[in-house]
Structure 1
Amino acid sequence: MQVSMTVNGEEVTREIEGRLLLVHFLRDVLGLTGTHWGCDTSNCGTCVVWVDEKPVKSCTMLAAMAGGHEVRTVEGLAQNGELDPVQRGFMECHGLQCGFCTPGMMMTARALLNENPDPTPDEIREAISGQICRCTGYATIVRSVRWAAAYEADRAEANAAPPEAATTGGAP
């Protein structure tokens, strides 16, 4: 069957088997290997991508079901050559160790910050509760998301500040 969707802003159309999972379509057909495949049972959350801006475990969705929709993977987080604040937060606060769960965690964290720009640590833990990290103990992941939230708040505040009043001839 033929399936068409938008992936990271690009329209793609491919001939696929109807039983192909979205995770395998992204990785094997499109070569977007940032989305990891861990369990096929929706338990680990390493395969989280967005479908129409909502986090979805791509191992539980057929590629055909994503037809006509917008899919965003971890490769689509960075914009205009600049890392997303969530990606920067994971770097700054060591939110990853082995990195296997990281793409799914980042996609979930970005979705959380889009809905709630200042989540508490408990709200972050709740948001990522459907994902398993076997290395970090989650503390650095929570710190990474908090860092991203603070970074975005600082940028918003800096952009909202009124420009310095222009002066002429040294007068205030």
Structure 2
Amino acid sequence: MSKEGQRHAAELKRLEEKKKALEDALMRLARDEAEAQEVAELAHEVEQLETQVKAARAAASMEKMMTKNELANSPVDVRKAAAANREAAERQLDELAKQMQQPGESFHKAYDRALSTDMGKALMQTRDDAQELERGGVTSMHLAEARKNLLSGTGSRQGGNAATEMEG
């Protein structure tokens, strides 16, 4: 190869290397832009989530305050809510029994087995407490509070003990 050919080959090699370096830089730039756009989108999502969290907290706070006021002001609403809770617990107990029911097994047997599970016991307790609230009766929470008061010595001593007063 002549000197002129070698010079052209060297120039071509230098230009190809420069082209490759520019293409690599362009690819890095495109990646950086894509990452920057992704970061901007994620920042926007975070802002939206923060707004939703604030709204949810405000709603929960308002509901808590309203519930507190409603419970203090309206025993009828408490009874309605208790009835709804009782019905929901009964439905969940039925569903649990249906899920546990074996082929050829009666629903009654499956229901009995469901009641012996931790979930069944918890649902039954919820149902019983809701029924007592609905009737204006004494719930397990009332009894636990009365027992706690008796054990700590803060229970009412007028006309008997707190548990008797609650149950009576």
What TM-score comes out, normalization by structure 2 length?
Answer: 0.23
Of structures 1 and 2, the one scoring higher in RCO (CA 8 A, sep 6+) is: 1
Greater strand fraction, Structure 1 or Structure 2: 1
Larger radius of gyration: 2
